[in-house]
Amino acid sequence: MPDATLPNPSFSREVPGLQLAFDSVSLGALKKCPRFYQLNIIEGWAPKGEQADLFFGIVYHGALERYDHARTNGASHDDALRTAVRWAMIETWDAELKRPKLVEHNYKNRFTLVRTIVWYCDKFQDDPIKTIILANGKPAIELSYRLELDYRCHLSNEAFLHCGHLDKLGTFQDKTVIVDRKTTKHTLDERYYEQFSPDNQMSGYTFAGKIVYNTPIRGIIIDAAQVAVTFSRFDRRLIERTPSMLDEWHRDLGFWLTAAQQFARAQYWPMNDRACFGCTYRGICGKPPEVREQWLKVNFVRRVWNPLETRGDI
Partner 1 sequence: MTDTPLTEASINSLDELFRRDPLEMSDKDWNVVIDEMRKKSALWAKIDAEGKRKAPKAKPMETPVAVSTSDFD
Q: Whose Cβ is closer to partner 1: residue 121's or residue 177's?
A: 121
- For residue 235, list its beta bridge partners: 224
**Least separation, in Å, of the C-beta of 118 and partner 1?**
4
Count of other CB atoms within 10 angstroms of residue 213: 18
Binding-site ranges for partner 1 (CB under 8 A)? 78, 81-82, 85-86, 89-90, 93, 95, 98-100, 110-111, 114-115, 118-119, 122, 230-231
Query: For partner 1, which is the closer residue by CB, 4 or 95?
Result: 95
In whole angstroms, how close is the CB of 115 to partner 1 at the nearest point?
A: 5
Q: Which residues contact 223 (CB under 8 A, 6 or more apart)?
A: 167, 179, 180, 181, 182, 234, 236
Taking the complex as a whole, the smallest distance from the CB of residue 182 to partner 1 amounts, in Å, to: 20
Give the nearer residue to partner 1 in terms of CB position, either 121 or 149.
121
Minimum CB separation of residue 93 from partner 1 in Å reads 5
* DSSP H helical ranges for 73-129: 77-91, 110-123
Do residues 184 and 227 make contact, with C-beta atoms less than 8 angstroms apart? yes
Element holding 50 (H helix, E strand): helix 50-72
**Is 42 or 225 the residue whose CB approaches partner 1 more closely?**
225
Least CB distance to partner 1 at residue 230 (A): 7
Neighbouring residues of 104: CB distance < 8 A, sequence distance ≥ 6: 52
Peptide bond before 198: cis, by omega within 30 degrees of 0? yes
Q: Which is nearer to partner 1, 123 or 175 (CB)?
A: 123
